Amino acid sequence: MKKYSIILLCFVISLIVIGHHSYQASGKTTYMYPNLPAPIGKEPVLITSAGQTVEGGIVHKLAQQLHLDAEYRPRALATDLYEYETLVIVAGYSYNGLLHKNRRLAQEKERIVELMKEAEAEQVPVVIFDLDVQYRDYEESWEFLTMTLPYADYFIGKEHEVPPQNLMGMIHDYKIKSTFVNEIEDMKTPFNSVFR
């Protein structure tokens, strides 16, 4: 029996981790803010990614399905914003995405900061998307959210198993209207309500 002790320990730790997640996920509900009372954005829409995840492409697909006049430019700069009426940011950090776009994390942060400042200066409404931050629970992902949320007019996110206190705190502090959905497909409704 002694020779199986470490093996059992590995399995027990795994079960504890799984059980811990299950416990946290059970019996708790996320407080959901209502949808927008009226449209806040206009077309054309600039969709860009803060952290270069593939989810930017998914939001672009959603925009296409909604027949929005939207363009997906993952590396859009502040100077590109002049021709758009709404800015959509898809937050989340991707190590491989940044490598693929030949960008460093610092450069990406700088681009996002500039873009946010320009959006504020130009009074362009900002919509933040969170598709997978609960699984991309990385320090860098939270940095991008922290950078963008103060400028956000609307937040559309996927419902988290455990509502993250810092996210809920920021949404509350910056008085951001927000909607949490169960599936990506469900994001189309609040996304559409931004414009129509």
Partner 1 sequence: MKQQTHPFWGTLGIVLVFYGMLIPALTMDWSMFIYEEIDRSLIEEDSGKLLVTAFAYISRNVLMFSMIFFGTLFLTRYFVKNSTTVRFQVVYAILSLMAVWALNFLYAEYYAYLPQLLTIGFILLFSTYLPRQRYFALTFLVLLILTTTSLQWLNLIPSLSHYGFGTNDLAVSLKAVDEFLTDHNLFSTIALVFFLIFFIIALIFTTLIHLFNKQIATLKLYQAQGKELQKTRNDLIESKVYQEMHTLVHDLKTPLVAIEGLLSLMEMKVKADDYKSKSYFSRINQSVVKMKEMISDILYEDIRKEIPAEELLDYVMSHLNTDDLPIDFEVRIEEAIPPLYVNKIRFSRAISNVLENSMIYLHDRGGKIKVDVTNQANRTCIRIEDNGPGIDQANLVHIWQEGFSTKNSSGIGLPFVKRVIESHSGSIEVSSEPGSYTITTITLPQHSRKEAIG
Size of the site for partner 1 (CB under 8 A): 40
Q: According to CB under 8 A, which one of 32, 77, 100, 121 is a site residue for partner 1?
A: 100
Closest to partner 1 by CB, 57 or 163: 57
Stretch that binds partner 1, among 29-37, 39-47, 52-60, 107-115 (CB under 8 A): 52-60
55 touches partner 1 by CB under 8 A:
yes
Q: Residue 19 is encoded by which pair of tokens?
A: 């059980």
Q: Shortest Cβ distance from residue 123 to partner 1 (Å)?
A: 32
25 touches partner 1 by CB under 8 A:
yes
Q: At what angle do helices 105-121 and 139-148 cross, to 10 degrees?
A: 20
Q: Shortest Cβ distance from residue 22 to partner 1 (Å)?
A: 7
Long-range contacts of 78-82 (CB under 8 A, 24+ apart): 78/111, 78/114, 78/115, 78/117, 78/118, 79/118, 80/46, 81/46, 81/115, 81/118, 81/119, 81/122, 81/124, 82/122
103 touches partner 1 by CB under 8 A:
no
Q: According to CB under 8 A, which one of 23, 44, 96, 166 is a site residue for partner 1?
A: 96
76 touches partner 1 by CB under 8 A:
no
Beta strands in the chain (DSSP E): 45-50, 70-72, 86-91, 126-130, 154-158, 177-181
- What is the residue whose two structure tokens read 């939270």? 142
159 touches partner 1 by CB under 8 A:
no
**Residue 45 burial class via C-beta count within 10 angstroms: exposed 0-12, middle 13-18, buried 19 and up:** buried
Q: Which residues bind to partner 1, rule: CB under 8 A?
A: 2-7, 9-11, 13-14, 17-18, 21-22, 25, 53-55, 57-58, 61, 93-97, 99-100, 131-132, 135-138, 140, 161, 183-185
